[in-house]
Structure 1
């Protein structure tokens, strides 16, 4: 990266819905190539980034010599093998963890000026993390992890992720990141939209009713409550929402009615543009959003990287 004003050419590995790519565009980059193994995700990325070349494949099998040259490698390897939200280890976790090695393979061929890898913070506790960093070090990269909460970057969601910045420098690069004002969950919710149901309808789970009752005692008639996870009561709408996951987690309570957050509300909670196209099937849309990088966070990380380069 010769200077801050130059246009950076980037590629996006494990691109998913395109949060990293969208943030890179916000930061003034050109995303020339993106890849993912899920055809539906590749199609969504292509719909929103028509100027990008796309590959749908297992990146362990990629021919990196056919990938366009680039200054910046962006990657979001599979996080399921690391996240505590997945519970105890299962056999498939080893294969999911191994996706991070595709970053090493790509870097070996192209030697871009910088690498940014996003994952859950537990990624740095992976048994092979030091070996992974050592492999990149042997290619000339110094790796510097930054644990970032999306809420501190103007995203209406608390979402802690590690962004590992690799640069071809002698010392670790510590990014000077901005800290933006918190955006409340109330800003993403449309109380005139969605499919509402009565809180006390027949068949409602006693655990759900208990969480709603606790939320009312804390926050009044309007608040959020989690359907699973550690939050037992409610969450004020004056705070950012909790982490958006790959399946419906957050319900909004409005007096005697309630509903789950919509795909459109979750898209806003992730910081995607309101015009960003997502699958019509809700399950697919939530899967992509829950796995995505928040574009404003990617923007701030890449902007700070360009300033420091």
Structure 2
């Protein structure tokens, strides 16, 4: 079994490392959040005191960080991964970040003598816990094949996407479609209700008809229909509006760089921004339904501290170094 270094133990990284430990790997991890580090240690991870401590002697290093600036700081900063890992170590970044940052990481890693792949994931917290994530892996074929061996205990699908940064490209495009589908499900659900359709009956129809989508089946934004819906828990987050807004903005930036119009995507981004501006940014992104049903201004209890999809990840990630 392998020695694995891991940086970033938030709501995704923590359960992902637990699956690696269950597969028999020795995982040593680091996070700036003591609570995140303790939670991962409870699942068998060996806590590290720094990035350098986490990557020392590792066969492979994984990172799971919120944004491009965090990934750049962790890899390129003083005492970071490229400073501390042994040359030739396989590096796997599973963060969802912008294309420019992904390219900088590939180039810097290659220049320093490391193997590097961008390997973002889809499947959310539930997929991280169950070990059923989809990994989209960009990089040279040999490095992708090597990374896939370590990824297997965390995944249901491992899909090589091609050259460097294509994993990030796939994730950005996938999430753009996801949030457009979510907005459509919200509008359809509210309209169906106001036309007198029973909520379960309408979902039963849409889920086996042309209105079907992963968002409808998993994140349906109406309480009492889909067990996994955050609407059942007053939109306690599984994937926050802030994270959704970040991901849509990644797609918009990539679209501008490639002269690609995203009229629908830009509109959905504006909807997510409205949620954030209304103080709903830490709630689940499926709260977008509140913009349709008119309940956005309704009084709601604060999002539970125990399940912040972004707060834990952001707090547990090293701030970019100057």
Structure 2-normalised TM-score? Answer: 0.45
Q: Which has the higher contact order (CA 8 A, sep 6+)?
A: 1
